[in-house]
């Protein structure tokens, strides 16, 4: 059994010994593939360092997080694009729109989002979407950019069955994480209605820690609890969930 964490900020842990412990705990829980999104130019070397230390386990993604879209973002994105020549990357992300912290930057966030979608298409890579309090805005961009080259993952999906089906209609996978284990999130009802062939698993560590560790820092080894909950909702076993979702991740990332 191999589980794939399609979204983890494992590189935030910069202590070598503690990072090794995190990787070892992943191995103990059958999490064998970790996909790492940077958030800005400064985090690119951290991602690349982890990839170099754990080849075949850690896979890099590059993009400019919507919360990092500030004055001069075009220059920062150019730095990130240059870094993509140094190391093979497997997606552009995480990119998108975040209206939780600052609605005033929406026009610039949309510009950055569309710019990076074009970049992904030019490289024939998937995109990994960050969407917070902005489903309608993100979906409007995706519809306007939709073609045979647009594909990817809707990271940290927490929406309704109707929203899930809209995402699926564009050929995107739903990134399901720790929120599915939260008692009153409602995500459990959505996931129960969505076929496993449309789902990939993620932690978004160190955030969104699943039950039974909610309230503590998240880590990729806790993906096992997400997989167990999804298995319960689909009345199947963890091995089946692992097999299908890891195959989905191979399909989207081409690795």
pTM: 0.97
What pLDDT is attached to residue 35?
98
Could you tell me the CA-to-CA distances from 220 to 33, 75, 155 in Å, in that order?
Answer: 10, 32, 15
What pLDDT is attached to residue 92?
98
Helix (H, G, I), strand (E, B) or coil at 127: strand
What pLDDT is attached to residue 225?
98
Consecutive H or E run containing 137: helix 135-145
What pLDDT is attached to residue 43?
97
What pLDDT is attached to residue 190?
97
Yes or no: say if 194 and 161 are a contact pair by the CB < 8 Å rule: yes
Pair of tokens at residue 13: 């842990």
What pLDDT is attached to residue 122?
97
Nearest residue to 89 via CA among 118, 60, 65: 60
CA distance 21 to 161: 37
Tens of pLDDT along the chain (255 residues) come to 999 999 999 999 999 999 999 999 999 999 999 999 999 999 999 999 999 999 999 999 999 999 999 999 999 999 999 999 999 999 999 999 999 998 999 999 999 999 999 999 999 999 999 999 999 999 999 999 999 999 999 999 999 999 999 999 999 999 999 999 999 999 999 999 999 999 999 999 999 999 999 999 999 999 999 999 999 999 999 999 999 999 999 999 999
Domain ranges of the chain: 3-253
Query: How is domain 3-253 classified at the architecture level of CATH?
Result: Alpha-Beta Barrel (3.20)
What pLDDT is attached to residue 59?
98
């Amino acid at each position: 059994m191999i589980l794939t964490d399609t979204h983890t900020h494992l590189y935030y842990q910069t202590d070598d010994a503690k990072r090794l412990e995190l990787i070892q705990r992943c191995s103990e829980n059958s999490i064998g593939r970790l996909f790492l999104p940077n958030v800005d130019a400064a985090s690119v070397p951290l991602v690349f360092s982890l990839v170099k230390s754990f080849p075949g386990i850690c896979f890099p993604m590059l993009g400019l997080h919507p919360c990092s879209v500030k004055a001069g973002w075009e220059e920062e994105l150019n730095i990130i694009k240059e870094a993509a020549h140094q190391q093979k990357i497997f997606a552009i992300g995480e990119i998108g729109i975040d209206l939780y912290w600052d609605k005033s930057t929406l026009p610039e966030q949309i510009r950055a989002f569309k710019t990076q979608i074009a970049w992904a298409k030019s490289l024939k890579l998937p995109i990994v979407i960050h969407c917070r309090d902005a489903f309608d805005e993100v979906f409007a961009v995706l519809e306007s950019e939709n073609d045979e080259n647009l594909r990817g993952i809707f990271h940290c999906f927490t929406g309704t069955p109707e929203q899930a089906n809209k995402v699926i209609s564009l050929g995107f996978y739903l990134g399901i994480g720790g929120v599915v284990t939260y008692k009153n999130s409602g995500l459990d009802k959505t996931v129960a209605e969505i076929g496993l062939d449309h789902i990939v698993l993620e932690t978004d560590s160190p955030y969104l820690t699943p039950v039974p560790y909610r309230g503590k820092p998240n880590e990729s080894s806790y993906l096992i609890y997400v997989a167990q909950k999804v298995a319960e909702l689909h009345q199947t076993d963890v091995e089946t969930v692992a097999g299908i979702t890891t195959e989905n991740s191979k399909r989207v990332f081409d690795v």
